[in-house]
Amino acid sequence: DIQMTQSPSSLSASVGDRVIITCRASQSISSHLNWYQQKPGKAPKFLIYAASSLQRGVPSRFSGSGSGTDFTLSISGLQPEDFATYYCQQSYSTPYTFGQGTKLEIK
């Protein structure tokens, strides 16, 4: 199975900041990497597919990059609604595995 490791596990930031969350795969997954946002008590929301493509309706302050084993999710100009938990997920092969999550909290 492909292991997905996110860092950091938690992160404190202020409104207006730029943050970067990293995700590392245990083997190369090309660009088969997706990102999701989850708020407490809610279903996840699909943010980015194929490592860098924004899903419909996702604000342009979100961006993704990377290929192979190393990926990043960047959020520029943090907004209050961005404080949530973020998960990466590899779509290269079954079992489709998620990272453990990164909780983004307000400083």
Partner 1 sequence: EVQLLESGGGLVQPGGSLRLSCAASGFTFSNYAMSWVRQAPGKGLEWVSSISSGGSTYYADSVKGRFTISRDNSKNTVYVQMSSLRAEDTAVYYCANSRITGTTGEDFDYWGQGTLVTVSS
Nearest one of 86, 85, 69 to 32, comparing CA atoms: 69
Distance, C-alpha 28 to centroid of its chain? 17
Tell me if 5 contacts partner 1 by CB under 8 A. no
C-beta closer to partner 1: residue 44 or 68: 44
β-pairing, 4-7 vs 62-67, is: unpaired
| 38: amino acid identity, one letter | Q
CB of 14 to partner 1, least distance (A): 26
Interaction mask 30-59, partner 1, x per CB under 8 A: --x-x-x-x----xxxx--x-----x----
**Residue corresponding to tokens 């990293």:** 22
Contact residues for partner 1, defined by CB under 8 A: 1, 32, 34, 36, 38, 43-46, 49, 55, 87, 89, 91-92, 94-101
